[in-house]
Amino acid sequence: MNHSSDDLPIIEAVPNFSEGRRRNVIDELAAAVRTSGARLLDRTSDAHHNRTVLTVAGPPQQVLQGLFNAVEVAATRIDLRRHRGVHPRLGAADVVPLVPIRNTLLADCALLARQLGRRIGDELDLPVYLYGEAAARVERRNLADVRRGEYEALVREIHLPQRLPDFGPARVGPAGAVVVGARPLLIAFNVFLRSSEVAVARTIARRIRERDGGLPAVRALGLLVDGQAQVSMNLVDYRVTTPHAAVNAIRRQAARHAIALDRSELIGLIPQDALPGIGERNNGADAKALSPRALAAAAAALLLPELTPDRVLEVALRRL
């Protein structure tokens, strides 16, 4: 029996590497994920975060092999003892989440994450922590809890019972640890203020994030990036809190400090149904329509000048 390509299981992975400045190393990481036949949909690097995020998709085993290859490159080319950046990090290949896309379930991705984590620990001799739906311990479901204290704390604490890795050695080398997991689609999205007051960005982050009583399914930090205050967010369920709702909430909070918003920044890709005026539930528009005018309106609403069709997940997936 023949199967169409639409019948094949497809997963996405969004590995984050602690390198955003050396173009040659970033090129090596990108090339490594392609060696297995997995498709690289997007690469986003930031020198101030000193971080690169790749978006990879394809059949599960191709994606897993590509991720393993890239983790191996990161472990040999990135030294956390010398790494400096504004984004929290635990390792050279800092976090490797798997996401179900087509004909796969979150539970399938959790099993695949454990498979990949075990192989990284066994063959690359790196400590590995499982998080999200793949977590083996309830206190490790939240990525921020796994990464607390970052690389420097892990060097001191990895021998303690609560910090022992799920796979690999209980010792920390220059490449640090790898956090592997499974999660639903999320949107990594940053908003810049027209201000250098990082204290204001931190206050806004506290007020909008879920854990402090703010917007549901929002995680946020206030950072100073190249002299400009930034509210850095993960929208872990964009159907509960949309990017547009998050921007408006930040705008209201910033106005209390007499500060305007400057622009937004998308890390990786955005699902089409997260775009205002295109995919919002109450809009009534055809979610399949992605006209230049609609895309431009969505970009304006999100303060996101870099929003082009190739940054939309569904458009990128058509390349598979």
Query: How many angstroms separate the CA atoms of 132 and 144, rounded?
Result: 11
Q: Within 10 A of 115 (CB to CB), how many other CB atoms are there?
A: 16
Helix axes of 60-77 and 106-124: crossing angle, nearest 10 degrees = 40
Query: How many angstroms separate the CA atoms of 223 and 228, rounded?
Result: 8
Asked if residue 295 lies in contact with residue 310, where contact means CB atoms within 8 angstroms, the answer is: no
Which residue among 49, 83, 87, 244 is the active-site one?
A: 87
Asked if residue 95 lies in contact with residue 15, where contact means CB atoms within 8 angstroms, the answer is: yes
Q: Which two tokens stand for residue 226?
A: 């190249």
Query: How many angstroms separate the CA atoms of 255 and 204, rounded?
Result: 10
SS3 280: coil
Asked if residue 104 lies in contact with residue 155, where contact means CB atoms within 8 angstroms, the answer is: no
Name the β-bridge partners of 54.
Answer: 43
- Render 9-46 in DSSP notation, one character per residue: -EEEE--EES-SS-HHHHHHHHHHHHTTT-EEEEEEEE
Residue 48 annotated to the active site:
no
**Which residues are marked as active site?**
87
